[in-house]
């Protein structure tokens, strides 16, 4: 069980989630100075990047917004994502989660962001909400 206060940082970025064949090269439009996440598996290459970086011909899920759970967190700390994802799932709000070495990010469709924030503020251990 999570026994830790969380700080959420709401990003102004508008993100897109793209899927490519597993052997596709990394596109140069991802950008180095903005948020991006690249995951390659034997099944696919998934890229999350700023929507304004996408060429018009790239098929993608657009209009995602991001909540950063301010870290860093020790690897032994459990329940961080569950604390946030469970109430969102119970409310029927889909998420796309990204974890890094230091922290976690929740991506939500833009039209669900305000509702999701309200749910998290009322049901989770939230210490602070920051706008970035």
pLDDT per residue of the chain (132 residues) written in tens, 0 to 9: 455 678 889 999 999 999 999 999 999 888 777 899 999 999 999 999 999 989 989 989 999 999 999 887 887 777 888 889 999 999 999 999 999 998 999 999 999 999 999 998 887 666 656 555
Query: Is 1 within the bounds of a domain?
Result: no
Number of domains in the chain: 1
Query: Is 38 within the bounds of a domain?
Result: yes
Spatial contact of 24 and 45, defined as CB atoms under 8 Å apart: yes
Q: Say whether 59 sits in a helix, a strand or coil.
A: coil
Please state the pTM of the whole predicted model. 0.86
Distance of CA 72 to the CA centre of its chain: 16
Query: Is 130 within the bounds of a domain?
Result: no
Detail the DSSP E strand segments found in the chain: 6-10, 15-20, 36-40, 45-50, 60-69, 96-99, 104-109, 126-131
Q: What is the CATH number of the domain that holds 41?
A: 3.30.2130.10
**What domain range is 22 assigned to?**
6-125
Query: Is 132 within the bounds of a domain?
Result: no
Spatial contact of 27 and 123, defined as CB atoms under 8 Å apart: no
In the chain, the N- to C-terminal Cα span, in Å, equals 29
């Amino acid at each position: 069980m999570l026994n830790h206060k969380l700080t959420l940082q709401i990003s102004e970025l508008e993100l897109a989630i793209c899927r490519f064949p597993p052997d596709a090269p990394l596109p140069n439009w991802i950008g180095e100075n903005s948020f991006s996440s690249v995951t390659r598996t034997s099944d696919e290459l998934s890229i999350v990047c700023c929507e304004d970086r996408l060429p018009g011909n790239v098929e993608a899920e657009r209009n995602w917004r991001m909540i950063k759970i301010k870290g860093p967190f020790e690897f032994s700390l459990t329940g961080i994502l569950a604390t946030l994802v469970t109430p969102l799932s119970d409310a029927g709000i889909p998420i796309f989660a990204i974890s890094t070495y230091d922290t976690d990010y929740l991506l939500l469709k833009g039209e669900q962001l305000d509702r999701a924030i309200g749910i998290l503020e009322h049901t989770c251990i939230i210490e602070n909400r920051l706008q970035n």
